[in-house]
A and B are shown apart, each in its own frame.
Chain A
């Protein structure tokens, strides 16, 4: 009788431990997924914000009082955006894909190329629009990379 109770106890303890460990594993997995989603959202929000700043910049004359600060916000935002993307490459596969890097470079060029920071540059609605288009293309590509990464594997990257 004693042995039977002992065997039963072993089974119950094993079951409790397994359930506990599985729970921890699943919550860590969910936490890593949520964290990646949140950081992807942050990255996309940063890109949209930068695109809006760039569009505002290209629709103002270079002599406007807002321009010096706008320039600084745009260029510093580009480094912030690249930093977020690089830090996310450890969590999300695909963010180092050549296509995303190419689109990021294209966005930088659309936002700050041409006559950016040039003292007598003309107002440019076409550059303002180009910044929005380049940002959209980049965001779509980042979201697609995230979806592909989720579909490719069920395992957490914690």
Chain B
């Protein structure tokens, strides 16, 4: 299991969507951390856990860019994302951020499913 802590491995204060919004944006985390880790996990039959604990805070737009964006831009089949990607928080203070991220992921997967079946 590959564990990525956003606060420790990326930045304790992530913000923004794209590279134009600042150095620790969602697009950068998705493209440079999450997608490579997921590729390795798929090859090795493993799982990636993204841990939200420890950051100063998150904006909902950052979480959407990462977890909605992984569906739109990651080129992973939906089954891979549902089985090989886990969003985690052990500190209850971060539970709402975790639920928000999970909702963005599931909403994007639903939307992707609609496009596939249409």
Contacts and interface: CB of A to CB of B under 8 A. Distances in A.
A56 interface: no
Given A75-B58, A117-B62, A101 B96 contact: yes
Contacts of A78: 57
A116 interface: yes
A78 B57 CA distance: 7
Interface string B24-68: 000000000000000000000000000000001111111010000
A78 B17 CA distance: 19
Contacts of B94: 82
B20 interface: yes
Interface string A103-141: 011001101111111111000000000000000000000
Interface residues of B, number: 24
Contact of A109 (B15, B16, B22, B60): B60
B1 interface: no
A32 interface: no
Contacts of A83: 93
Contacts of B57: 75-76, 78-79
A8 interface: no
A132 B97 CA distance: 19
A119 B17 CA distance: 9
B61 A75 contact: no
A113 B96 contact: no
Interface of A: 71, 75-76, 78-79, 82-83, 86, 101-102, 104-105, 108-109, 111-120
Given A101-B95, A116-B60, A117-B16, 4 more contacts: A71-B59, A105-B96, A112-B60, A117-B59
15 contacts: A71-B59, A75-B57, A79-B56, A79-B93, A82-B92, A82-B95, A86-B93, A111-B60, A112-B58, A112-B61, A114-B60, A115-B61, A118-B61, A119-B18, A119-B20
